[in-house]
Each structure stands twice: as structure tokens, then as C-alpha cells.
């Protein structure tokens, strides 16, 4: 019964998101005649792809009951490594492998601190948010590496020939399919949900919770590095300040997508819908030349609301069930309170 | 599982339908308030390194004056912190709106290039001001700083104050800073002229554009050279730190200070006499000129080729130089008499 109700509540969240998405589209269209032009939609998707990629692994991590705030810094660090190795004359494929490896190493570092030392991931990754960004600045300073081959930058801003679908969007769709299958259709997904629901119970059920979490952090680092390569290609520059502050968008998309901040619940479908909502909203504001400060206020408000919404709903539910219990027996209500 | 797929499917269907409806609708109805992209209106948007910055706000004021004079529209958009990638997002937003011209001060010359080139492919004119992008990603660069004029004027200002005698030092930014090194080159050249034969450059210190380092460097300069008569600091961070350092050891009036600074940070020191004169370009004029340049491009009066002329209202006539660069002109000198007129 309870399981069914949970399924139902997550289902209703996605309906709510669909309504939000429709509202966003109507809002965007009424505010700007350019919003629904294919050209604009193509640019909008292109400019949001790194956030979308990082949101995939962030979904898994938050469902498992942890968080990774360092993703944007890992993106910056891997972008810098890509630039530095390219400058050193190594072939581009090798630079990309090095960038991906650096991302995984950064994720491994986060994961080890969380799983081996038992530190809270919120604090660990807040620390490495500064640490990895600092490293990026130490390595490259305020310089930029930008003499990448044109094929690489074409991947960053080019479209599939004959269409307005960005190449990077194709990459995202492929990644999203893989993540969907892993999270919702495989035993790994079931282990992730179990871990987030109740770590101890998951451990007793034979799930190697720490190894799973370590893997998720490495995965998060890897996806941040993928996003780093995409970002570097898109602006054809490796810079230490690439994607500063993107973690705000990533976490907002995941939580707005209905993933429970305390773990155990959520779906990729919701997160993808939320990505469209946030990307569309940001684009609609931008097309009306509404400044970055106001955009941050909107995104920040969405983040708070998406945590607050389910929380308030839960409280109302709890209060209702307390009242039901109180009518039955006053003793249980005291205990429950 | 079925429900999930159903949601996903219906979500995309709704999205696609709305997109199609929107595309069909936008041809027949014009519900938007945004001005049309027609060729006769001047729809010019400024994209500074960051908004809420007094320097760029002053430039915007100048641009607004030009917009009023030409009966065009002026807008300023931009990131809240100086970020190259945020600027790329803004360029894409402006490209989608098909504005007439984008006037940009780049946080990174290369990072903005692909997006600006895309804008130019859509027929949008691109002018850089204050900080250039790669030359193939814009039609014009409106350059505030004629390196030679800036280098020489700082020596001239100090020479006059010191009656052309005494030891002087330079407090620069990083030892690798391109702008500063170019200016210092012209300072040395100016100093080699006969009227400066009694002025000796004893040391070039590098404060790395860090307030504390520059402050300490100034103190050690005054200790190491007790007869030091003057300091030139060709960086806005350095000159403010140096003024504070000179004041902290009560050497105001004994050690002269000049260089490049902004009126707001130097106001206090000019009013209390620590600093007599300093120089900088007037960002208001820079914004004004950039607007006129963008307007001339939209109107087809110029294409950005070297040697072409255009009129910039009260600023006069300008000629496009090599690499499609337009130079604003000699820097403005600020002192007690005029500093109150500037706010940036």
C-alpha cells in the first residue's frame, strides 16, 4: 500500500512538472516572439547541456543519500587539464582520456573521504569545491588555452547536419538512456534506492553500501569531466573559471525533478523534465534581457521551493495521520509527537 | 515502468506540439513586445564584462547619450560576475533575438569567438570595446587606450610635479602584464628625452595587482630609496594601494604619486593632497564612441575596413586603423578641479 502511495506521489510530481513546463513554454512564448524559434531552442539546449549531463550522476548520488557539490569545480579542473595537455603537444584523444581520468580521480578522492572516513558528503564536497577550483587556478592561472582544432569546437557548437539538433544533445540523450536503464531497470538502481532509503537495512540485505557510494562518486567525477570536455569544446577555451556556480543549477534541477534530498526517492524522468523547465525559464528571462542577478533569484527560489514543497506536503500528511490516530487513541498521539 | 514511459512520451509530445504551434503562430501573430529586427531601427545591446560595475555603468551612460542623439535604442545586459561562459549564454540570447548590434567587452578573447561568429553569420554587427575579442569575431574594436599616449602622459604628469628632478620608481601589476609592460616601454622612452635628464628611474616593483602586495611594495620602495621623489603606478589597484601607503607614513606631498586610477577610488587622496593628478580614459566617452561605431555599421556607413571614416557626434570624426581598431584618443587627466564631475 505504502509503496503504491509513494509511486503515486512521485507520479503526481511529474504531472506537476509537466504543468510547470507548459507554463514555462507559454510564459516564454508570450514574453518573447523568439522563444519558440527552432534556432533559439537549439541554442538553449546547447547552453544547458553540461548542467544536464552533470544532473544525471547527481540524481544517482542524491537518491543514494549523498550529494556532490564539487561537480562544477571538477568540470573546471578537467577542462584545465585538457587545455594544459593539449598545449604540451599531446594528441587530443589522449588529452580527453587524461581529463576523464582526472575527473574520476577527483571523484575517487571525494568518495574515499566520504566512505572510508565517514565524513558527511555535504562538507567534503563543499571543501573540494574550493580545492579543485583552486587547483585549476594554480595550474592555469587566469590564462586560457584556446587553440583547439576546429573539429573539436564544431562538436561543441555544431548541429547534426541538416537539422538544428546540437551534437552535444545527441551525446546527452545517449547518456540519459544509459542512466535511465541503470537507475530504473537494473539491480544497481535497486541497490541505489535501497541504500538511500535505509543504509543499515541495505547493508543487512547484502549491499556493499560503501563500495556503491564510492563508485557513484567516481561516476560523478567522470560525468563532470565529460561535461568539462563538452564545455571546453562549446566555448573553445580551457579556463580555470569554466562553469563557476553551475552546481546551483545541477542541484536545483535534481531536487525540482522530485528527487528527495534525504535520498531513497526520485526518477530521471522528473529530473529531465525539471532540466527543461529550468533551461526554458533561464532562456525566457535571458531573451527579455533580465539580468543574471534576477535569474539567480528565480533559480534560488525554485531550489528552496522544490525542497520545501514535498516537506510541507509531508508535514500536512503527518499532521493528518496524527489527527486520525488521535481520534483513535490519545496515547499513541503523544508517543508519535 | 509503463507510467514512467508514458510520462516521458506524453511530455515530449506536448513539448513538440507546443513548439510546432509556436512556430506556426509566430508567423501570423505578433504578440511580443520586442522591437522588430528591421533594418532601419538601431537595436544596439551592450554586453559588458559584468553588470553593476561603475566603470561599465559610466560607459552605458555615454552610450545612452549617443542613442538619444541618433534616436536609436540602447540596452545593457550581462552576467552578474565577470564570467566568459555567462557572456556566451548572453551572446546566444541576443543572437536569437536578432538584435542589430552587440557591443561587447570580453572576459576572454577566445571563449567568446565561436558565439560571436555565429551572431555575425546571422547578420548581427559585432563591436568590441574596452577588452577585445579575436579580430575575426568582430567588425570593429573601439580601443580606449592608445598605449603610447598612456605611457608618455604618466611621465609628463610626474615630471611637471617634480620640476624634472629626482629619483622615481614604477609600481606595476604582474611582471608579465602585457598592457603595463607596453606602457612602461613608452615611459622609458619618454624618460630618455633631454628634459628628463635629472630624473632617474631607480626601480620597477611588481605588486601583482594585489592590494596588500602593492601596499607593502610601496613601503619598501620608500625605505630602500629615502630620496625617492615620485612613483608612477600604471594600474588602478597599484595606485590606490600606493596612495594609502604614502599616507600611512605621512609622506604625502614629499613623495608624488601619479598613474592610472579611477576617480572614485582616488577622490579622497586628490582632495587631501596626497595625489595631485592621475590619468585614465573616460569610459563615458568610450561607450559613446562604441555606440556610434555600432550605429555606423548597422546603417552601412562603414564595414570595418581600415581607412573608413565615421562621425561620432560631439566626439568628432574617427578613422578605422589597422586590424579594424578605432582609438578613443588621449587619456583624460583628473585633478582637484574636475574630479567631482566623474563617478566611476
Per-residue pLDDT reduced to its tens digit, B174-219: 887 878 889 999 999 999 999 999 999 999 999 988 899 999 999 9
The distance of A322 to chain B (nearest Cα, Å) reads 31
What length is written for chain B?
344
| Residue numbers in A near B32 (CB within 8 A) | 30-34
Judge whether A43 is closer than 8 Å to chain B, CB to CB: yes
Question: In this structure, what C-alpha cell is assigned to residue A166?
Answer: 546540437
pLDDT band at B7 (very low <50, low <70, confident <90, very high): low
pLDDT in tens, A205-219: 999 999 999 999 999
CATH of the domain at B194: 3.40.50.2300
Residues whose CB is less than 8 angstroms from the CB of residue B277 and which lie 6 or more positions away in sequence, other chains included: B157, B161, B258, B333, B334, B335
pLDDT in tens, A265-283: 999 999 999 999 999 999 9
Q: Which residue has the higher pLDDT, A224 or B108?
A: A224
Nearest-Cα residue of chain B relative to residue A47: B89
pLDDT at A323: 80
pLDDT at B174: 85
- Asked if B1's CB is within 8 angstroms of A33's CB, the reply is no
Residues 23-52 (B) with a CB less than 8 A from some CB of A: 23, 25-26, 30-32, 34, 45, 51-52
Is residue B23, in this structure, part of any structural domain at all? no
Q: Evaluate whether A310 touches A321 at the Cβ level (below 8 Å).
A: no
B80 → closest Cβ in A144, A286, A296: A296
Domain containing residue B193:
150-280
Is residue B59, in this structure, part of any structural domain at all? yes
- Specify whether B164 is located in the same domain as B255: yes
The helices-and-strands tally (H runs, E runs) of chain B is 10, 14
Spatial distance between the Cα atoms of A256 and A24, rounded to a whole number of angstroms = 14
- Mean per-residue pLDDT, B96-107: 94
pLDDT at A290: 87
Correct CATH for A13-314 of 3.50.70, 2.40.30, 1.20.120, 1.10.3470: 1.10.3470
- Specify whether B159 is located in the same domain as B271: yes
| CA distances for A184 relative to A181, A217, B298, angstroms | 6, 19, 54
Is residue B10, in this structure, part of any structural domain at all? no
pLDDT at A329: 54
Q: Is the ipTM of this structure higher than 0.90?
A: no
- Specify whether B191 is located in the same domain as B133: no
- Predicted confidence (pLDDT) at residue B146 exceeds the cutoff of 70: yes
Looking at the 3D structure of chain B, how many domains does it have?
2
Q: Evaluate whether B143 touches B169 at the Cβ level (below 8 Å).
A: no
- Mean per-residue pLDDT, B305-327: 94
pLDDT at A192: 97
Residues whose CB is less than 8 angstroms from the CB of residue B303 and which lie 6 or more positions away in sequence, other chains included: B139, B297
- Mean per-residue pLDDT, A64-93: 97
| CA distances for B86 relative to A203, B50, B125, angstroms | 44, 10, 20
Is residue B19, in this structure, part of any structural domain at all? no
- Specify whether B266 is located in the same domain as B290: no
Question: Beta strands B256-259 and B228-233: pairing type?
Answer: parallel
Question: In this structure, what C-alpha cell is assigned to residue A334?
Answer: 503523544
Amino acid at each position: 500500500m505504502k509503496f503504491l502511495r509513494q509511486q503515486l506521489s512521485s507520479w503526481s510530481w511529474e504531472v506537476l512538472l509537466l504543468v510547470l513546463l507548459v507554463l514555462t513554454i507559454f510564459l516564454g512564448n508570450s514574453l518573447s516572439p523568439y522563444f519558440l524559434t527552432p534556432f533559439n531552442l537549439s541554442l538553449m539546449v546547447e547552453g544547458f547541456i553540461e548542467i544536464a549531463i552533470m544532473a544525471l550522476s547527481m540524481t544517482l548520488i542524491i537518491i543514494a543519500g549523498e550529494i556532490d557539490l564539487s561537480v562544477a569545480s571538477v568540470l573546471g579542473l578537467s577542462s584545465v587539464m585538457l587545455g594544459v595537455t593539449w598545449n604540451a603537444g599531446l594528441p587530443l584523444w589522449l588529452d580527453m582520456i587524461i581529463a576523464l581520468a582526472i575527473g574520476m580521480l577527483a571523484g575517487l578522492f571525494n568518495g574515499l573521504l566520504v566512505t572510508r572516513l565517514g565524513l558527511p558528503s555535504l562538507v567534503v564536497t563543499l571543501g573540494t569545491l574550493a580545492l579543485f577550483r583552486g587547483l585549476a587556478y594554480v595550474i592555469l592561472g587566469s590564462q586560457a588555452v584556446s587553440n583547439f582544432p576546429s573539429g573539436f569546437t564544431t562538436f561543441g557548437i555544431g548541429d547534426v547536419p541538416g537539422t538544428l539538433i546540437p551534437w552535444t544533445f545527441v551525446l546527452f540523450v545517449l547518456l540519459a538512456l544509459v542512466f535511465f536503464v541503470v537507475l530504473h531497470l537494473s539491480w544497481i538502481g535497486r541497490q541505489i534506492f535501497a541504500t538511500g532509503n535505509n543504509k543499515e537495512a541495505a547493508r543487512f540485505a547484502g549491499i556493499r553500501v560503501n563500495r556503491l557510494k564510492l563508485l557513484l562518486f567516481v561516476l560523478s567525477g567522470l560525468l563532470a569531466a565529460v561535461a568539462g570536455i563538452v564545455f571546453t569544446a562549446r566555448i573553445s577555451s580551457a579556463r580555470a573559471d569554466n562553469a563557476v556556480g553551475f552546481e546551483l543549477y545541477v542541484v536545483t534541477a535534481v531536487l525540482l525533478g522530485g528527487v528527495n534530498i534525504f535520498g531513497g526517492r526520485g526518477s530521471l524522468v522528473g529530473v529531465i523534465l525539471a532540466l527543461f523547465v529550468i533551461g526554458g525559464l533561464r532562456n525566457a528571462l535571458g531573451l527579455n534581457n533580465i539580468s543574471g542577478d534576477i535569474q539567480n533569484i528565480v533559480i534560488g527560489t525554485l531550489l528552496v521551493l522544490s525542497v520545501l514543497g514535498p516537506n510541507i506536503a509531508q508535514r500536512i500528511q503527518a499532521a493528518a495521520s496524527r489527527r486520525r490516530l488521535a481520534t483513535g487513541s490519545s496515547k499513541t498521539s503523544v508517543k508519535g509527537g | 515502468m509503463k507510467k514512467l514511459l508514458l510520462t516521458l512520451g506524453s511530455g515530449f509530445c506536448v513539448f513538440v506540439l507546443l513548439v510546432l504551434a509556436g512556430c506556426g503562430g509566430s508567423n501570423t501573430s505578433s504578440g511580443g513586445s520586442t522591437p522588430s529586427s528591421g533594418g532601419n531601427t538601431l537595436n544596439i545591446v551592450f554586453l559588458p564584462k559584468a553588470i553593476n560595475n561603475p566603470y561599465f555603468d559610466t560607459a552605458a551612460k555615454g552610450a545612452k547619450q549617443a542613442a538619444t542623439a541618433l534616436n536609436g535604442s540602447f540596452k545593457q545586459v550581462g552576467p552578474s560576475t565577470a564570467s566568459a561562459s555567462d557572456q556566451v549564454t548572453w551572446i546566444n540570447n541576443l543572437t536569437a533575438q536578432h538584435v542589430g548590434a552587440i557591443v561587447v567587452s570580453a572576459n576572454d578573447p577566445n571563449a567568446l569567438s565561436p558565439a560571436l561568429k555565429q551572431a555575425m553569420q546571422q547578420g548581427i554587427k559585432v563591436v568590441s570595446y574596452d577588452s577585445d575579442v579575436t579580430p575575426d569575431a568582430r567588425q570593429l574594436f573601439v580601443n580606449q587606450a592608445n598605449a603610447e599616449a598612456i605611457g608618455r602622459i604618466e611621465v609628463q604628469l610626474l615630471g611637471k610635479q617634480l620640476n624634472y628632478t629626482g629619483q622615481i620608481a614604477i609600481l606595476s601589476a604582474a611582471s608579465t602584464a602585457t598592457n603595463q609592460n607596453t606602457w612602461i616601454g613608452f615611459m622609458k622612452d619618454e624618460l630618455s628625452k633631454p628634459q628628463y635628464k635629472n630624473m632617474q628611474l631607480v626601480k620597477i616593483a611588481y605588486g601583482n595587482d594585489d592590494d596588500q602586495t602593492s601596499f607593502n611594495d610601496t613601503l619598501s620602495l620608500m625605505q630602500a630609496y629615502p630620496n625617492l621623489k615620485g612613483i608612477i603606478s600604471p594600474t588602478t589597484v597599484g595606485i590606490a594601494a600606493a596612495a594609502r601607503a604614502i599616507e600611512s607614513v605621512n609622506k604625502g606631498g614629499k613623495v608624488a604619486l601619479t598613474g592610472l586610477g579611477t576617480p572614485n577610488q582616488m577622490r579622497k587622496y586628490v582632495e587631501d593632497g596626497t595625489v595631485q593628478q592621475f590619468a585614465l580614459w573616460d569610459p563615458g566617452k568610450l561607450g559613446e564612441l562604441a555606440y556610434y561605431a555600432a550605429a555606423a555599421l548597422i546603417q552601412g556607413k562603414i564595414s570595418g575596413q581600415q581607412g573608413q571614416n565615421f562621425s561620432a557626434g560631439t566626439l568628432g570624426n574617427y578613422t578605422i586603423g589597422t586590424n579594424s581598431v578605432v582609438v578613443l584618443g588621449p587619456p583624460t587627466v583628473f585633478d582637484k578641479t574636475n574630479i567631482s564631475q566623474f563617478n566611476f
